[in-house]
Amino acid sequence: MKKILIADDEPNILILMEQILEELEDKDVLILTANDGKKALEMIQKEKPNLVFLDVIMPNINGLEVCETVKKDPDLCHVYIILLTVRGQSFDEESGMKAGADLYITKPFRPRDILLKSKEILEID
């Protein structure tokens, strides 16, 4: 079973992302959620998801720190991390890529793009 973790402290974003990705559950994909950076890191370490949508600005541990920690861990460095954030300046994107993110997407985003990218990463038709 493939796994996607959505980590965001905004309940509305969590709900929206779950709705966007719910059709993947029919393709044997488990959707997990976390509402802060500490929980996100714990879930990544425990569940080893294939794909993580990670907000940058979160309580306890920010998304950049979570990303850096995951990418430095030999057992987790393969996890595909998409930073999904309101921070849209080029400096912010550079910081995200330095932290090890595989992709940087700013909010607001197009739901169809999220779904298509998820299918592509998970190699689902």
Cα–Cα separations (whole angstroms), residue 39 to 42, 63, 64, 78, 109: 5, 11, 14, 19, 24
Question: Would you say residue 55 lies in a domain?
Answer: yes
CATH of the domain at 75: 3.40.50.2300
Separation of alpha carbons 62 and 101, rounded Å: 13
Question: Would you say residue 116 lies in a domain?
Answer: no
Cα–Cα separations (whole angstroms), residue 63 to 9, 12, 53, 72, 79: 11, 18, 10, 14, 14
pTM reported for the whole predicted model: 0.95
Question: Would you say residue 18 lies in a domain?
Answer: yes
Question: Would you say residue 122 lies in a domain?
Answer: no
Question: Would you say residue 101 lies in a domain?
Answer: yes
Least confident of 40-44, 84-88, 121-125: 84-88
Average confidence (pLDDT) over 41-45: 98
Question: Would you say residue 118 lies in a domain?
Answer: no
Report the number of distinct structural domains present in the chain.
1
Residues 6+ apart with CB under 8 A from 99: 64, 65, 67, 68, 71, 83
pLDDT tens for 69-100 read 999 999 999 999 999 988 778 888 899 999 99
For residue 6, the enclosing domain spans: 2-109
The pLDDT confidence band at residue 116, using thresholds 50, 70 and 90, is very high
